[in-house]
Amino acid sequence: MADFPVTEHTRVRRLAARGRYDRETIYRILDEALVCHAGFVQDGQPAVIPTLFARVANEVILHGAPASRLLRHVAAGHPVCITVTLVDGLVLARSAFHHSINYRSVVLFGRGRLIEAETEKLRALEALTEHILPGRWGDARRPTPRELEATSVVAVSIDGASAKVRTGPPVDDDEDYALPVWAGVLPLRQQALQPVPDPRLADGTALPDYLARYVAGER
Tell me the per-residue pLDDT of 92-150, one tens digit each, with 9 for 90 and over.
Answer: 999 999 999 999 999 999 999 999 999 999 999 999 999 999 999 999 999 999 999 99
Superfamily of the domain at 16-171+181-188: Electron Transport, Fmn-binding Protein; Chain A (2.30.110.10)
Please report the pLDDT score of residue 140 as a whole number. 97
Instruction: Report the amino acid identity of residue 135.
Output: G
Query: Half-sphere exposure of 194 toward its Cβ, with a 13 Å CA cutoff?
Result: 1
Please report the pLDDT score of residue 5 as a whole number. 95
Q: Using alpha carbons only, how large is the chain's radius of gyration in Å?
A: 21
Per-position pLDDT tens, the chain of length 219: 789 999 999 999 999 999 999 999 999 999 999 999 999 999 999 999 999 999 999 999 999 999 999 999 999 999 999 999 999 999 999 999 999 999 999 999 999 999 999 999 999 999 999 999 999 999 999 999 999 999 999 999 999 999 999 999 999 999 999 999 999 999 999 999 999 999 999 999 999 999 999 998 876
Please report the pLDDT score of residue 218 as a whole number. 74
Q: How far apart are CA 126 and CA 129, in angstroms?
A: 5
Angstrom distances, CA of residue 163 to CA of 28, 157, 206: 10, 17, 40
- Contact (Cβ atoms closer than 8 angstroms) between residue 59 and residue 157: yes
- Contact (Cβ atoms closer than 8 angstroms) between residue 109 and residue 74: no
The per-type count for the chain, helices as H runs and strands as E runs, is: 5, 10
Please report the pLDDT score of residue 213 as a whole number. 94
Rounded to 5 degrees, what are φ and ψ at 171? -120, 105
Rounded to 5 degrees, what are φ and ψ at 156? -105, 120
Record the pTM: 0.95
**N-terminal to C-terminal alpha carbon distance within the chain:** 25
Q: How far apart are CA 18 and CA 139, in angstroms?
A: 41
Please report the pLDDT score of residue 178 as a whole number. 97
